[in-house]
Amino acid sequence: MYRKTIKDYALDGTIYVLLILMGLMTLLPFVNVLSKSFSEEWAIVSGRVGVFPVGFQLDTMAFVVTNSQFLRSLWISVLISLIGTLASLLITSLTAYPLSKRELPGMGVLIVLFIFTMMFNGGIIPNYLLIRELGLINHLGSLVLPALISVFNMLVIKSYFESLPSSLEESAKIEGARNLTILFRIILPLSGPVLATIGLFYAVYYWNDYFHPMLYINSTSLKPLQLYLQDIVMNADTSSALDKSADDLMNVPAEGVRAATVIASTIPILLVYPFLQKYFIKGVLIGSVKG
Amino acid sequence: MKKAFKLISVIAAVALLVSVMAACSGSNGKNGNTGNANSAGSGKEAPKPVLKRLNVWANEDYNTYPVAGLLEEATGYKVQHDMLPQDKWVEKLNLIMSSGEEYDLVTSYSDMALYSDYAQKGALVDLTPLIEEFGPNIKTAIKPESIEALKVNGKLYAIPTTVTYKINSSILIRTDWLEKLGLQMPTTTEELKNVLQQFKEKDPGGNGDRNVPMTIKGDQAMIDNLVGAFGMPNAWNDVDGKLVPRVMDPAYKDYVAYVADLYKQGLIDREFVANKDATAKEKFSSGAAGAIVVHWADIPAIYDALTKNQPDAKFAYVPALKGPAGEFGFGANAGFDRLTFIPKSAEHPEDAIKWINASLEPETFKNLAIGVEGTHHKVVDGAYEPIQPIFTDERNLANNFMAGTDETNYPQYWQARVRKNPVMFEAFDYLNNKLPEDAKKENALGLAPYMKEYSKSNQQLHTMLNDYTVKLIAGVETIEGLPGFQQKFLEAGGEASSNEVNEWYATVQK
């Protein structure tokens, strides 16, 4: 048996202290924003708010979460994340399933074509023109359609499908099941972990995506939360006051309001993580240790 | 097979339904657009089309803001508003303009380079004939000099909203500190130095090590009021009949020497180079700093915080300080705040002009700007005072709806907006109404027409000079290096701009 010496304890201690410090370093800014969102505005402006709120109050938060634009943006984001995730999962598994069959003719070419799109794409302007010609500018479809399938995610699902025993399918075939029945009745029910993982990937992507809405959405009523958030936060940057008129300066949202908006829009997706955490680790491992 | 299709179609149907619902709740503009293909404006009986307008970012939805309803009633046009993002709006606008989105009206911040670029590339509708035919109110509301300044190759492509006040910022000083030390409000640069020295030595705020006589932010190398005291209130000033950028100004050396000395003596915030906007305000509003350089619009937040921290605190703007050579003054705004134009791809250019014209009908415009007397505002001693909270609720964003202003009356109407906060108004009133007119040195370039070289390099030169000046003040560079920097400045576009600017300046000097 190896016994720990004083030196080992000292080393362990230092490592723990360092890691805790680093953890706190990433946590502190978040806590600071959190306490700002519950503090009095005057305390924030004079730089008194650190870890704990100064002059605790809930009015700012209440103001933010009852703001109609915030609620509408939240609704749009939830909607896109839900519909987008479900649709993406469906399309991705529908693509992955045939590609997991080694007997598929022309499979090599197909895989190469898919991987090609991972590395090269048309770029922003052609994409914009495409979306415009499809009539999807200012339409929620423009946020879901372009991201329906991610080749990387599709490959992860494909390799999971490949790891399932083929005898399952054979026996189903003997019972007279056709391909779609096999996929939906047998394969997908067995793919819970990988679907949860990829689903979370997609959900986080849809939730966090601000680039596509920035390009394609002009209408206020269709802006998802990230876009709303960006507008609120960027607005406060008065360092470029030169190009701002006094009317805009007078309407800069209070620091507390911005902090509260950031918190209120982070919480929903944070809540999803703990519930999917167990699948998450399992699912990511699946891709790596197959045999 | 069937099941899968069912699922897809259900998802598709839900997506469609939701987007339709969302579009309807915003406004039913889409239906209107397809329903009214004829934009020829033939006769009064033709139904008025729904106009699509792209506007700058606002923190509320234009379509549901009370002013939208008011304008719809007054003009007879329903306008469907979209807005640009707050950040990187230029990129987004370029994208929209180049892809030919069908907006009838586009309002953006005044960016002359962008505007003339669009105009020269033929992306905008020439407004002159349209205004001639449909815009009598536009002709009376907008002053001829504004129109002249916006002409590109002799044609007018935009209608401006002009800036409504002249002076932005000055040095805000703690008057209770002055009283405590028995000092007078400084009136010259030397007196200011003396006051700051007293602030430093006697520490009237009792701040100990935190004591800062005057704080500024890191990119504030050109301190308003002080630059005026050295005879260069604007970025370009008249020196012997020619416009000269600050760095080439003979007074630049003296200004830098003065401010660098303040810094060296510890009278300007030691850490100013690292100060962000919020840091500087923090120092003043927590009571640690005796003076700060701020825009008057920032005052409400500062006031609230400062009086909570120190109930006895009082502050006021320093008047226009006289420099060693007896010069004084503030750079005064001139020019435009927003520009409204009609893209070539607009479906209803004539109706757009008719709409602008209707919005500039004097009574409509007044109602748009400050609401109804007795409901939204009252008249006290000839000035318009807002009635709260309805004024803020229903007119706070009114300026965003304007496409052109009643240039004679709007500055008066507009002051009602500043009166929303008495402390802010007092500061504004001092700078803009009480200061003698000769302290307001108008920016000669404010109403200058589009100049290619100047527009191209202005921003970059400004940053370059600012960075250099900060280094001089902080003592990182010495003034001996100035000729070398001037050379660099000229090569980076300063010379080309200067030639262009003075070629134009010579024509207005006559």
DSSP annotation string for A251-287 = TPPPHHHHHHHHHHHHHHHHHHHHHHHHHHHHHHHHH
Say how many CA atoms lie within 13 Å of B45 toward its Cβ.
0
Judged by CB atoms closer than 8 Å, whether chains meet at B308 and A253 is answered as no
Sequence letter at residue B64: T
Nearest to A231 among B14, B57, B278 (CB): B57
Band the pLDDT of A185: cuts 50, 70, 90.
confident
Top pLDDT among B344 and A124 is at B344
Amino acid A162: pLDDT: 86
Q: How many domains does chain A have?
A: 2
Does residue A286 have a pLDDT over 90? no
Phi then psi for B54, rounded to 5 degrees?
A: -105, 130
Whether this model's ipTM surpasses 0.95 comes out as: no
What six digits make up the tokens of B97? 């303009």
Does B253 score more than 50 pLDDT?
A: yes
Contact A47 B286 (CB under 8 A): yes
d(CA A143, CA A226): 13
Asked if the C-beta of A66 comes within 8 angstroms of chain B's C-beta atoms, the answer is no
Which of A59, A77, A97 marks a domain boundary? A59
The partner residue sitting opposite A219, judged by closest CB among B3, B26, B306, is B26
pLDDT surpassing 90 at residue A164: no
pLDDT at B29: 36
Q: Chain B within 8 Å of A48 (Cβ-Cβ)? A: yes
Do you know the residue count of chain B? Answer: 510
More confidently predicted of B376 and B46: B376
More confident residue, B109 or A280: B109
Of A40, A140, A218, Cβ closest to residue B18: A140
Chain B stretch 297-356, residues whose beta carbon is closer than 8 A to a beta carbon of chain A: 297-298, 301-302, 304-306, 308-309, 337-338
The reply to whether A146 touches chain B by the CB within 8 Å rule is no
Residues 6+ apart with CB under 8 A from B286: A46, A47, A48, B305, B306, B309
B26 vs A: CB within 8 A: yes
C-beta separation of A41 from A47 below 8 A = no
Nearest Cβ partner for B59 among A76, A178, A251: A251
Same domain, yes or no: A236 and A276: yes
Q: Which one has a higher pLDDT value, A240 or B478?
A: B478
Determine the Cα–Cα distance for residues A264 and A225; give it in Å rounded to an integer: 10
User: Which of B18, B59, B163, B306 to probe the A interface (max A CBs under 10 A)?
Assistant: B59
Q: In chain A, what percentage of residues exceed pLDDT 70?
A: 90
Token output for B206:
């009792």
Largest CA distance in chain B: 90
Cβ of B219 within 8 Å of Cβ of A239? The answer is yes
Judgement on whether residues A29 and A104 belong to the same structural domain of the protein: no
**Largest CA-CA distance found in chain A, in angstroms, rounded:** 77
Percent of chain B surpassing pLDDT 70 = 91
**CA trace torsion B301, B306, B312, B313 (10° rounding):** -90
Contact present, B106 and B342 (Cβ < 8 Å) = yes
Which amino acid belongs to residue A224? Answer: P
CATH of the domain at A216: 1.10.3720.10
pLDDT at B17 over 50: no
Distance CA B224, CA B247 (A): 16
Q: Decide if B331 contacts B165 (C-beta within 8 A).
A: no
Q: Do B396 and A83 touch (CB under 8 A)?
A: no
- What's the whole-number average pLDDT of chain B? 86
How many CB pairs below 8 A link A and B? 158
Closest Cα partner for B475 from B237, B256, B269, B290?
Answer: B256
Between B275 and A241, name the one with better pLDDT: B275
Interface contact A46, partner B, CB < 8 A: yes
What pLDDT is recorded for position A237? 54
Closest residue on chain A to B26 (Cα):
A221
Whether B62 contacts chain A with CB within 8 A: yes
Distance (Å, rounded) from C-alpha B270 to C-alpha B144? 49
What is the phi/psi pair of residue B470, to 5°? -60, -40
Q: Is the pLDDT of residue B67 over 80?
A: yes
Question: Quick check: helix, strand or coil at residue A87?
Answer: helix
3-state class of A78 per DSSP? helix
Cβ of A72: how many Cβ atoms within 10 Å? Answer: 21
Contact between chains at A239 and B277 (C-beta distance less than 8 A): yes
Report pLDDT for B25.
39
Residue A36: which domain range?
6-59
CB of A180 less than 8 A from some CB of B: yes
A1 found inside a domain: no
Distance CA A72, CA B140 (A): 42
User: Which chain A residues touch B86 with a CB distance below 8 Å?
Assistant: 230-231, 234-235
| Phi, psi for A267 (deg, rounded to 5) | -55, -50
Token reading at B362: 């004097």
A127 touches chain B (CB under 8 A): no
Residue A281 has pLDDT above 70, yes or no: no
Q: Which of B99, B400, B465 to mutate to test the interface with A (most CBs of A within 10 A)?
A: B99
- Determine if the peptide bond prior to B389 is cis (ω within 30°): yes
Question: Residues B353-382: what's their mean pLDDT?
Answer: 90
- The verdict on residue A103 lying in a domain is yes
B399 touches chain A (CB under 8 A): yes
**CA distance linking residue B83 with residue A217, whole number of Å:** 9
Continuous segment of H or E residues that includes residue B36: none
Instruction: Write out the H or E segment, with its range, that includes residue B244.
Output: strand B242-245
Are A45 and B277 inside 8 Å of each other by CB? no
Lowest mean per-residue pLDDT among A76-90, B37-51, B165-179: B37-51
| Stretch among A287-291, B115-119, B228-232 having the lowest mean pLDDT | A287-291
Q: Is the pLDDT of residue B241 over 60?
A: yes
- Output DSSP code: residue B47: P
**Both tokens assigned to A19:** 């890691």
CA distance A4 to chain B (A): 47
Nearest CB to B4 within list A40, A79, A180: A180
Residue with tokens 């989105």: B101
Give B126's Cβ-side CA count (13 Å radius): 11
From CA B135, how far away is CA B156, in angstroms rounded? 13
Measured between CB atoms, does A82 come within 8 Å of chain B?
no
Lookup: tokens for B140: 């009376």
Token pair 């009114």 in the structure block, residue? B398
Q: What is the pLDDT of residues B168-198, one digit of tens each?
A: 889 999 999 999 999 999 999 999 999 999 9
Whole-number pLDDT of residue B111: 82
Task: Tell me how far apart the alpha carbons of residues B341 and B159 are, in angstroms, rounded to a whole number.
Answer: 6
Q: Say which of B26, B283, B400 has its CB closest to residue A221.
A: B26
One-letter identity of residue B209: D
Instruction: Report the top-level CATH class of B169-332+422-448.
Output: alpha beta
Provide mean pLDDT across the span B471-482.
Answer: 91
A122 and A256 in a single domain? The answer is: yes
CA separation for the pair A218, B135 (Å, rounded): 29
The residue with greater pLDDT, A10 or B7, is A10
| Residue range(s) of every CATH 3.40.190.10 domain in chain B | 46-164+335-406, 169-332+422-448
In chain A, which residues have their Cβ closer than 8 Å to the Cβ of B3? 180, 184
**Chain B residue with minimum CA distance to A215:** B92
- The phi and psi torsions of A226 (rounded to 5 degrees) equal -65, -35
Determine whether the interchain pair A42/B109 forms a contact, defined as Cβ–Cβ distance below 8 Å: no
CA–CA dist A38, A238 (Å, integer):
23
Q: How high is the pLDDT of residue B31? A: 37
**pLDDT on residue A283:** 58
Q: Are residues A197 and A260 in the same domain?
A: yes
CA–CA separation, A241 and A243 (whole Å): 5
CB contact under 8 A, A140 and B22: yes
Strands B383-386 and B377-380: antiparallel
**Angle, in degrees to the nearest 10, between helices B252-264 and B189-202:** 10
Same domain, A10 and A112: no
Classified by CATH at the fold level, domain B46-164+335-406 comes out as: D-Maltodextrin-Binding Protein; domain 2 (3.40.190)
Q: Are residues A112 and A167 in the same domain?
A: yes
Q: Where are the beta strands (DSSP E) in B359-406?
A: 377-380, 383-386
Q: How far apart are CA B75 and CA B402, in angstroms?
A: 13
Is residue A244 located within the same domain as residue A222?
yes
For B65-80, what is the mean pLDDT? 91
Q: Which residues of A touch B397 (CB under 8 A)?
A: 251
d(Cα B111, Cα B337) in Å, to the nearest integer?
Answer: 9
Contact (Cβ atoms closer than 8 angstroms) between residue B126 and residue B155: yes
pLDDT for the residue B153: 85
Whether B265 and chain A come into contact, CB under 8 Å, resolves to: no
**CA nearest neighbour of A161 among A182, A179, A181, A188:** A188
Category of B76 on φ-ψ map: left (φ > 0), alpha (ψ -120 to 50) or beta = left
Shared-domain flag, residues A95 and A118: yes
The confidence score (pLDDT) of residue A61 equals 86
Q: Looking at the predicted structure, is the pLDDT value of residue A40 above 80? A: yes
> B86-100, B133-147, B224-238: which range is least confident on average?
B86-100
Q: What pLDDT is attached to residue B159?
A: 93
Number of neighbours of residue A176 by Cβ within 10 angstroms: 7
Q: Give the CA dihedral A142, A144, A146, A148, nearest 10 degrees.
A: -160
Name the pairing type of β-strands B51-55 and B79-83. parallel
Hey, are the CB atoms on B54 and A48 less than 8 Å from each other?
no
Does the beta-carbon distance from B60 to A69 stay under 8 Å?
yes
